[in-house]
Amino acid sequence: MKTWSEMRAFPLAIRLLLVNQLGVNIGFYLLIPYLATHLGEDLGMSAAVVGIVLGVRNLSQQGLFILGGSAADRLGARGVIIAGCALRTVGFALFALGDGLPVLLAASILSGLAGALFNPAVRAYLAAEAGDRKAEAFALFNIFATTGALVGPLIGSALLLVDFRASALTAAAIFALLTAAQAAVLPAREVPASKGSVLGDWREVLANRAFLAFSLAMVGMFTMENQLYLLLPDGARRATGWDGAAGIVFLVGTLANLTLQMRITRSLKERGTRARWVAIGLALMGAAFVPPMAVAGASGTGGGAGRAALALVPVLAGALLLYVGVMTAQPFVMELIPEFGRAELTGTYFGIFYVVSGIAAAVGNTVVGWAMDAGAHGAPWLPWACCLAFGLASAAGVGWLHRLRALPVRAVAVTA
């Protein structure tokens, strides 16, 4: 109830963007998690070719965030959001209509470019429209995104009972509807004339050492958040011996997000600075990996349902704590980013933030993957310990930047 009342307090444009993010994540997650299986099993492609198709999609998104951010600043976030959503409509439709490698590569490039366009543009538009209520707006954004990430795979698994093309066409239809809604509802805003070049904008942002340090400190947040799709589901399956245990992890997290996100954000916003809560949130995220260590290496293949349920409890406790950490830190991270520089460069700041943190998180995920492989040979606690270390290191980094007064220091406004 709190979520809906908060949502109604925002203007129509922000409400649309929240629903947009729900739809974007539903469309994305009903298709992409099953793409590798479709390419390998249905189309008979080798693992190397599957890796190329998936890698091209990821690279075209992560590497081009900076272009999407600059486009939002110079052309207006509204047009970039609409263009990005339209491109993803075409890209996902191509996944349904073509089986050849050139078509699949084109689909991967278009869907990745689409994300690179609308992800920073949506956040720039949200930050501009929310005014002094950025934290609440991004908290709601997190709720809708998390819900979409849960609902999408459920719809996708049902559609796969028909075939993969049904999933791809459904995703494309969702993005087409979102594109039409954005064109009809999002108001256009006048874009101030840019005084310098795009390269000059990039140089200005990259010269902001405090911003770059903050972006690198966020490697822990993105690496740990990604374990909701890798390490924690794997831990749940290993602890219980049941593949469906991974779904319980997502369900618990989504329910917690729906019920607690706005309460947490509003409560913390009234009690301190953003840097403090970002650091505490990161520390909580790191601590989330301590409970699953209790069942690391344990097998859930025997002992019945009761033993499996008991073995799952530490993993669920870790997942819940991880979600609480994300709910604590993420809205204030998003609120801080635009305040590192000029308002005219909000999109560029978001774009570069996601490029830097995305590259750093890819390195972090590689470390976790190595730890999972190494831990399989007698040290099952190792990947959990790596994530704990990431969380504590990121929290310490943000705390250090705060002590150096390198972060935007405006105290969080008190709300009535």
Round the average pLDDT of the chain to a whole number and report it: 88
CB–CB of 125/72 below 8 Å? yes
Give 255-303 as a 3 state SS string: HHHHHHHHHHHHHHHCCCCHHHHHHHHHHHHHHCCCHHHHCCCCCCCCC
Residues of the chain with pLDDT under 50: 411-416
Q: Which pLDDT score is estimated for 415? A: 39
For the beta carbon of residue 328, count every other beta carbon within 10 angstroms: 23
Neighbours of 242 (CB within 10 A): 18
Give the pLDDT of residue 107: 93
> Residue 32: its pLDDT value, please?
86
pLDDT of residue 412: 42
The pLDDT score that the predictor gives to residue 372 is: 86
Query: CA-CA distance, 268 to 395, in Å (whole number)?
Result: 17
pLDDT at position 36 is: 82
Alpha-carbon distance of 366 to 351, in angstroms, equals 23
- Cβ atoms of residues 398 and 217 within 8 Å: yes
pLDDT at 345: 94
